[in-house]
Every structure is written in C-alpha cells, then in structure tokens.
Amino acid sequence: MGVKKVNRKFLLVSLVILIIVLLYSVVILVTYVSCNYKQSLHKESSYCQFSIIKGYEYYEKLNPPMKIVEIERGTSVISAPSEVIEKADQYIISLIGENYFEDKFTLKESFSYPLSEKDRSSYSVIYDYLLGKVIVRLDLDKNIVKYQGPTKPYSFSISKEEAIRIAKSNGLQEPITAELVYGGKGYESDTGTITESYMWNVWSDKHSKGDPEIVYIDIDTGNILGVKTYLEVPIREY
C-alpha cells in the first residue's frame, strides 16, 4: 500500500508539472501570434515588444551565445607586425645564411591570431621555398615556438632517379618508390630517429624478413642517412 501511495503522489506531481509547462507554452504561443497579428495591422503593442524582449533575454541567459572571432583574411588587420616578420627572417638566416635566404625564400603571407577578448595574439610567418611552404610560428613575446623548414642550405644535387639507384645498390628491391620529404618531424630507422630537414625517402613493397624496407638518402651528397629493415609481425592465432 505504501508503494502505491508513493507512485500515485509521483504521478500527480508529474501531471501538475506537465500541465504548468503546457500552459506556459500556450501563453507564449498566444502572445507571439497576437503580436504578429497586431504588427500586421500596424498596431504595435508595447506589451508585445516587452514580452518578446524579455523572452529573448531569458533564452540568452539560459543559452549564452558562443563568442566567435571572425577574421577577414587578406586584410591588414591580421598581418603580423613588421618586427615579427623581421624576427622570423633573422631566425632562418641564422640557420641557412643570408645569401641563401635572399635567393631561395620569398615572403608569402603573415598572420596575427586573436585568442581571447584580452587581445592576446600569436603569429605565423609563411614563406615560399623550393619545395613548398616554410612556416615560422612565434608566441606573444615574439619567441620562435615552431619552425618547419631547412636547417642548412640545400643544393638538391641528387635527383629522384639517382636516389633510386643508390637505394637499389643498398639492397632495396623493385618496385621502388621515391619521395622527397621533410624529415624535421622525425623518421624511424634501424639506428634511431632521423631529423634531417629534407631527404629522399625511398621504399619498396617487395621485401622479406631482414630485407631493407626504406632507405633514407641525403639530397645533396647521396649518403645513406638511415635504413629501416623489414621485420615480420607475428600473426596471432585465436
């Protein structure tokens, strides 16, 4: 009996709440329709305006809008300050030399990124280079926080065909594919991680256990920077 009484009370309370919600929705709907009708007759009501405004305020209070910063690309608003670009220039020059920088690099674009309402910013400076884009990122204090580009001047003396020939002479089997890659992120070899800025990544899909799978080749000298040997992965039996 006690359980039945509790269930009845719960159902009664739920029914009362549902009725209140429905009545409130009907009041809002009637107010909205009434306001639209009066506005269509050019008889605007101050009560309608007040009700609608208060409704919007209440909704925004419960559902605060997301604050999105829109940036119009290509305008001076987002260009990095000249001292930031100069700092990026000098950093690259310290790695590869001024003559190589002037000859191989062209400033493409720069950005300032708003991060919050406190007008904090970070910066990116982007250059065109022989192999594509080079990106320098700086923090609020104009310190270099990320660099993706050459760490020394490259002549790119070794062609794709020459890289493949070198890899074959070191045991790589046909079919062979060669790709010029940026190695600053690190490539694994038998002797450790290779972080050379640019190199030939030459690999084969035909190999057996103990055969070379990938050969990394210096793009200027043709020297072997590293080899990754194929190791069979044991198949689990279930």
**Which residues face 178 on adjacent strands?**
202
Please name the residues in contact with 199: beta carbons below 8 A apart, sequence gap of 6 or more: 180, 181, 183, 216, 217, 218, 219, 225
Q: Do 130 and 174 have their domain in common?
A: no
CA neighbours closer than 13 Å in the CB half-sphere of residue 178? 23
Within-domain flag for 166: yes
pLDDT at residue 74 in the model: 41
- Residue with the bigger pLDDT between 14 and 44: it is 14
Q: Which of 214, 209, 213 is nearest to 234 (CA)?
A: 209
- Are 45 and 80 part of one and the same domain? no
Task: Give the model confidence (pLDDT) of 66-95 as tens digits.
Answer: 333 344 444 344 788 999 999 999 999 999
DSSP 130: T
pTM over 0.85: no
Residue 154 domain-assigned (yes or no): no
126 in a domain, yes or no?
Answer: yes
pLDDT at residue 13, rounded to an integer = 67
- For 171-213, the pLDDT digits (tens) are 888 888 998 887 666 788 888 888 788 899 999 887 777 788 8
Give residue-wise pLDDT tens across range 26-71. 767 766 666 555 554 444 444 444 444 445 454 444 444 433 334 4
Q: Is residue 11 part of a domain?
A: yes
Do 89 and 47 fall within a single domain? Answer: no
For residue 56, the model assigns a pLDDT of 45
Calpha distance 34→70 (Å, rounded):
37
Residues with Cβ within 8 Å of 120's Cβ and at least 6 positions away in sequence, in order, are 114, 140
Q: What is the pLDDT of residue 33?
A: 60
Domain assignment of residue 31, yes or no: yes
70 lies in some domain: no
Give the three-class secondary structure for 9: helix
- Residues forming a β-bridge with 110: 125
**Last residue of one domain, picked from the residues 85, 113, 148:** 148
Query: Domain check: are 172 and 109 in the same one?
Result: no
Residue 18's pLDDT band, with cuts at 50, 70 and 90, is: confident
Q: Are residues 124 and 164 in the same domain?
A: no
DSSP 155: -
Give yes or no: residues 89 and 142 share one domain: yes
| Contact assessment for residue 181 and residue 202, using Cβ atoms and an 8 Å cutoff | no
Q: Give the domain-ending residue among 148, 168, 195.
A: 148
Query: Does residue 135 share a domain with residue 167?
Result: no
| Higher-scoring residue by pLDDT: 15, 168 | 168
In sequence order, the 6+-apart residues with CB closer than 8 A to the CB of 34 are 45, 48
* Residues above pLDDT 70, as percent of the chain: 66
Give the C-alpha separation, 138 to 119, whole Å: 16
Question: How large is the greatest C-alpha to C-alpha distance in the chain, in angstroms?
Answer: 94
Residue 235 maps to a domain: no
Is the same domain home to 55 and 89?
no
Inform me whether the pLDDT recorded for 113 exceeds 60: yes
Lowest mean pLDDT, pick from 96-100, 106-110, 116-120, 129-133: 116-120
Q: For the chain, how many structural domains are there in total?
A: 3
The residue among 93, 123, 148 that closes a domain is 148
Find residue 124's DSSP bridge partners: 111, 137
Instruction: Say if residue 85 is in the same domain as residue 144.
Output: yes
Mean pLDDT is lowest, of 103-107, 148-152, 205-209, for 205-209
User: pLDDT-derived band of residue 111, with 50, 70 and 90 as boundaries?
Assistant: confident
Q: Are residues 117 and 85 in the same domain?
A: yes
Asked if residue 224 and residue 164 are part of one domain, the reply reads: yes
What pLDDT sits at residue 35? 58
Check whether residue 102 and residue 46 sit in a common domain.
Answer: no
Is residue 155 included in any domain, yes or no?
Answer: no
**pLDDT, averaged across the chain:** 76
- What's the domain range around 174? 160-229
